[in-house]
Amino acid sequence: MRRKGTLRCFKDHRVASSALRPGEAPVVDWTADVDFTSLALDAKAAGLIPLAFMEMGTFLNMGMEHRLGRQQAPPTGFRYLLHPDGLGAQFHVLILGKSIVSEDWTFPHNRLKRLNLQK
């Protein structure tokens, strides 16, 4: 149990004890744990359609392939975000839609089944 919640703040690549402190520069990065199943169920209740759930690296790779083509390597600084041993497998993406036909949208490596929400 996390008595202080799951919000974590980072400054200069180190965990910061507080998000905002008077007189100090703001924290650069905030992150929190997300219950994607609850998020997807709440989104469905609000009229949205869960389309895909995947690792961030997979999602970013899809965008890079679409933009740069399969022949070109991603920029060096981007590789840590894509690689499964870096941040690529640590963070996830939930793609939601509204007023669309979900069958028209297919995503390779879709893991909605993992949330028990496979379309």
Give all strands of the β-sheet with 29-31 in edge-to-edge order: 14-16, 8-11, 29-31
- pTM of the predicted model, to two decimals? 0.68
Residue 111's alpha-carbon distances to 35, 51, 71, 99, 101, in angstroms, are 15, 10, 26, 22, 19
Q: What is the pLDDT of residue 53?
A: 92
Per-residue pLDDT of the chain (119 residues; tens, 9 = 90+): 556 677 777 777 777 766 666 667 666 677 888 899 999 999 999 999 999 898 888 888 776 665 555 666 666 766 666 767 767 677 888 999 998 877 777 787 888 887 777 65
Check if the beta carbon of residue 102 is closer than 8 Å to that of residue 119: yes
The domain segmentation of the chain, as residue ranges, is 1-33, 34-115
